[in-house]
Amino acid sequence: MHDQRFHKRSIFLAAYIIFALLPIYWMVNMSFKTNEEILSSFSLWPQHFTWGNYLTIFTDPSWYSGYINSLIYVAINTVISVSVALPAAYAFSRYRFLGDKHIFFWLLTNRMTPPAVFLLPFFQLYTTLGLMDTHIAVAMAHLLFNVPLAVWILEGFMSGIPREIDETAYIDGYSFPRFFVMIFLPLIKAGVGVAAFFCFMFSWVELLLARTLTSVNAKPIVATMTRTVSASGMDWATLAAAGVLTIVPGAIVIWFVRHYIAKGFAMGRV
Amino acid sequence: MNPTEKPVNQKAWWLVLPVLLCVAFSAILPLMTVVNYSVQDIISPERRVFVGTEWFAAVMRDEELHGALWRQLQFSLAVLAVEIPLGIALALSMPAQGWKSSAVLVLVALSLLIPWNVVGTIWQIYGRADIGLLGHTLQALGFDYSYTGDPVHAWFTVLIMDVWHWTPLVALLAFAGLRSIPDAYYQAARIDGASKFAVFRYIQLPKMREVLMIAVLLRFMDSFMIYTEPFVLTGGGPGTATTFLSQYLTQKAVGQFDLGPAAAFSLIYFLIILLLCFVLYNWMQSLGTAHKEHAHA
Amino acid sequence: MAQIELDLAHAYKPNPQVETDYALLPLKMSFRDGGAYALLGPSGCGKTTMLNIMSGLVVPSQGTVKFDGVDVTRSSPQERNIAQVFQFPVIYDTMTVAQNLAFPLKNRQVPADQIRKRVGQIAEMLDMSHQLDMRAAGLSADQKQKISLGRGLVRSDVSAVLFDEPLTVIDPHLKWQLRRKLKQIHHELKLTLIYVTHDQVEALTFADEVVVMTRGKAVQVGSAEALFERPAHTFVGHFIGSPGMNFLPAQAGGGVLTVQGQAVQVPQGLAVPEGALKLGIRPEYLQVSAVAEPGTLAAVVRQVQDVGTYQMVTCDAVGVVLKLRLTPQAQAPQVGAQVFLHVLGPHTCFYKNEELVA
């Protein structure tokens, strides 16, 4: 690599990273100010640094329960999505069967459906089932989008493992469940990681369905944040702090799967 | 895996059953409801009249819908036009190995994991003249910037917000594609005396073909379905300047409670996406058809 | 076409102390203009590193590389005007065969009609004239390798063509075809060719001279015959030949040679060095007789295998396994029979500290 090329690219990269981080920095900046300071003066860093906003969130149940609720249904959804996707992906990867291509395509089309289309039907469905305002309702609603994605990703990874491994295991006397758990899963753990990452990502960030299906008990943080107007006007400071805290789980997750991201985005297919 | 090598086994259906149950529950039941509503006039929970395709016809004639559809198409095309080249450029400038690679990866991917309403909120704050860095700076430089008042400003803000939010997805996909190129190709290109642009055009771009296709499809689909971010940022305004299809649908369904037309539109919406994706996919395949045909000579 | 001189070493770390710090131990070697050479050795012996130093993809940590007397140690591969063929075919997928071959010339602004002529010539040489307008991506592996090779040959002033195990991905039945083609090209174009491989058959059939390497060290440079007859190092004896050379630890002193306690009478006229030795004798040259004679060692036959083109007899002599080859027509001894092996003869090599002394 010639130094010239590096130089230009490094500048471009630095410029982009600044572009990417500046809005986030601004929100962090605001989260350490009070509402008074925000509205009265404009500064690049807090003049009167305060932890107050974060304190509010950690002590006020209506705030922190939002995070807990979100984490709960995201976790439930990720576990279910990946668990049901694993056997299905195996089937698509290893066998041909009646309607296999059609089902696979149909699964993918679910990913193409605007969530807005399902607003009302979901509302009615879950009300009928008495599951409104529960974590499981949101977890199940998100299955619609995450399961096809998980199947798609896992199938790609599984197709990269030669059939001979399956056959050897059968010859060696492994039953299918034992083979799957003890031999196959470790081989595709990168794929499982990637699938779980995407499921987490989508479920964590989604607002429309999460808000529609919850009201009090399972209210996710994303919904709480859309209602921060009080009599004294917009509570920018607390809102900013809440926003910063929603980025934290995401950052942690990316850090853990960073090695798989580069490989995994190719989804084993490239 | 070569599809013709796979054995036929109908028992594989058992493995697929859990998935089918989940998705059927989440998809088919609601979809049936939607179809149901789309062909009825629900005057009250007791009084329902079958109206056939009346709602579909009404929806197709709806001027507001045409407006939203047109704005949506413009938006999605603009999004693709900016995010794809920018994402590729970003991927080309990201380091391939070492701690720097991990650090850059995390920083770049951060925006993908922010809840969509928080994305809207971030930019809502950022763009305000009184408390936002961007708004304040632009005002100080003399621009009369207002994303709440001026439709053009609102458009640009929504676009930049989406670029900020989603370009990393394209970049990460392209990055993965680039990593799959063995060193020997670059070495051979050096030996052949190829220019940097030739390396990009003849080695990097072809190898990234498949991932880029995924990127284009994903970005198109998702931008066509976008709801939360613009809603939080501009609420669809000023007026209807930034009201795209999803918001239009939600307004109709939840706001105005016109179940019939909303349901009819839902189906049409879904079909439009399906159709456009199909067309896009085939077009991209045809761009590289000869490549694929000879792949297993 | 150039003469390449190497006088260098390459270490992983800035201050190499012991042998294992080096990828290439200090060496001095000369490849004459127009010669065909092979770098032969097991994986990790440094042959690919040496090749990359010659091509310019790696700069040696110490020493120089000279092309026709000009120091090119820090020059790029382009500046050295070399061509390199890699383990797997490296072609430009989106171009046709003709465009692939023309690419290096286009980059040098060669006029179009000259390009066409040259491409036609090279395609003819590679038996690819009828495929010039086909998309390169759709061809088989061996054809793609020919294109890779062709791109290297298309420049008429190319100084040397370097090969890094180029037949690795080629089907076995096509390998010998490509090898023959390479020899043909060498004959016609008289280029300096340097070929890295771990396959001795490839090396010995392709090259005029072979450099045998192990663990960063070039242990012998010589023709196939020299390597076979007089391996300079026990490694060479062991590596070349199928199976490799037989080795016997021995002690010589005062005209008497003892092998693992057994005395071996030294035949008349054979000079044997003194001290602790290793005897090396190839299975092809190990004679067997039924009776004790000067220079023989008693052994018991363990196994006789009919391999088709020869018979392989495995014997056990004082705990050391020795193998010998017999023609299919020869009468092989019975398993379990006691025989006498001529371990001392004109083809025996004597080694001290793994190096050839006599």
Indicate yes or no: CB of B30 within 8 angstroms of CB of A121.
yes
Indicate yes or no: CB of C139 within 8 angstroms of CB of B297.
yes
Q: Using CA atoms, how far apart are residues B247 and B243, in angstroms rounded to an integer?
A: 6
Give chain B's domains with CATH numbers.
71-243 (1.10.3720.10)
The answer to whether B184 faces chain C, any CB pair under 8 Å, is yes
Q: Which is more confident, A136 or B9? A: A136
pLDDT at B90: 95
Q: Using CA atoms, how far apart are residues C210 and C231, in angstroms rounded to an integer?
A: 12
- pLDDT band at residue A80, thresholds of 50, 70 and 90? very high
Domain ranges of chain C: 4-237, 245-356
Q: Has residue A17 been placed in a domain?
A: no
- pLDDT band at residue B257, thresholds of 50, 70 and 90? low
Query: Total domain count for chain A?
Result: 1
Indicate yes or no: CB of A143 within 8 angstroms of CB of B106.
no
pTM equals 0.79
* ipTM score: 0.84
Helices and strands in chain A, H and E counts = 14, 2
Cis bond leading into C346, ω under 30°? no
CATH of the domain at A90: 1.10.3720.10
pLDDT at B4: 54
Q: Has residue A85 been placed in a domain?
A: yes
Nearest CB to B249 within list A5, A17, A116: A116
Q: Has residue A7 been placed in a domain?
A: no
Digit-coded pLDDT (tens) for B174-214: 888 888 888 889 888 888 888 889 999 999 998 888 788 88
Indicate yes or no: CB of A110 within 8 angstroms of CB of B10.
no
Reported CATH class of domain C4-237: alpha beta
Q: Which residues of chain C from 114 to 143 reach within 8 Å of chain B, CB to CB?
A: 134-135, 137-140
Indicate yes or no: CB of B294 within 8 angstroms of CB of C82.
no
Q: Which residues of chain B from 171 to 200 reach within 8 Å of chain A, CB to CB?
A: 172-173, 175-177, 179-180, 196
pLDDT at B256: 67
Q: Which residues of chain C from 62 to 91 reach within 8 Å of chain B, CB to CB?
A: 76-78, 82-84, 86-88, 90
pLDDT > 90? residue B162: yes
Percent of chain A with pLDDT over 70: 91
Digit-coded pLDDT (tens) for A190-241: 788 888 888 888 898 888 888 888 888 888 887 788 766 555 567 888 888 8
Q: Cα angle vertex A265, ends C140, A178, to 5°?
A: 90
Mean pLDDT of chain C: 87
Digit-coded pLDDT (tens) for C59-69: 888 889 998 88
Architecture of domain C245-356: Beta Barrel (2.40)
Angle of helix B151-179 relative to helix A3-31, nearest 10 degrees? Answer: 130
Domain holding A150, by residue range, is: 61-265
CA-based nearest residue to A116, from B255, B214, B29: B255
Q: Using CA atoms, how far apart are residues A211 and A219, in angstroms rounded to an integer?
A: 7
CB neighbour list of residue C352: distance below 8 Å, 6 or more residues apart: C273, C275, C276, C277, C278
Spell out the alpha helix ranges (H) of C110-242. 112-125, 141-153, 172-189, 200-206, 224-229, 234-239
Q: Which residues of chain A from 107 to 126 reach within 8 Å of chain B, CB to CB?
A: 107, 109-122, 124-125
Percent of chain C with pLDDT over 90: 10
Give mean pLDDT, residues B264-279. 85
Q: Which is more confident, C128 or B295? A: C128
Q: Which residues of chain B from 49 to 88 reach within 8 Å of chain A, CB to CB?
A: none
Indicate yes or no: CB of C103 within 8 angstroms of CB of B192.
yes
Q: Which is more confident, C206 or B43? A: C206
CB neighbour list of residue C16: distance below 8 Å, 6 or more residues apart: C9, C22, C61
Residue C172 structure tokens: 């076995």
Distances (CA, A) of A217 to A224, A227, C197: 12, 16, 69
Q: Which chains touch B (3 or more CB pairs under 8 A)?
A: A, C
Nearest CB to B196 within list A5, A247, A267: A5
- What residue in B sits closest to A249 (Cα-Cα)? B113
Indicate yes or no: CB of B16 within 8 angstroms of CB of A13.
no
Mean pLDDT of chain B: 84
The answer to whether B202 faces chain C, any CB pair under 8 Å, is yes
β-strands C192-197, C36-40: how paired?
Answer: parallel
Indicate yes or no: CB of B225 within 8 angstroms of CB of A100.
no
Give mean pLDDT, residues B115-133. 87
Give mean pLDDT, residues C219-227. 88
Q: What is the interface size between A and B, counted as CB pairs within 8 Å?
A: 278
